[in-house]
Amino acid sequence: MRGLAPYLVAFVLYVGIGLAVPDFLYSSVVAAAFLVVVVWAIPEGVRRLRAGRST
């Protein structure tokens, strides 16, 4: 379930943005980039920041 949580967050964000700006829903490339940013890049950035502070 922990692995699923970021995807659920991304799902809610994506649907929300898409409803506010429907053009957002048309591009598979935008969707892929969005998912990578929300599910991987942001958590990875935060993890590296925290690791940097703790050393």
- Contact residues toward another protein (CB under 8 A) are 3, 7, 10-11, 14-15, 18-19, 22, 25-26, 28, 31-32, 35-36, 39-41, 44
Name the minimum Å distance from CB 18 to another protein: 4
> What residues contact residue 52 under an 8 Å CB cut-off, 6+ apart?
none
Taking the least distance from each CB to another protein, the nearer of 28 and 54 is 28
Name the minimum Å distance from CB 20 to another protein: 10
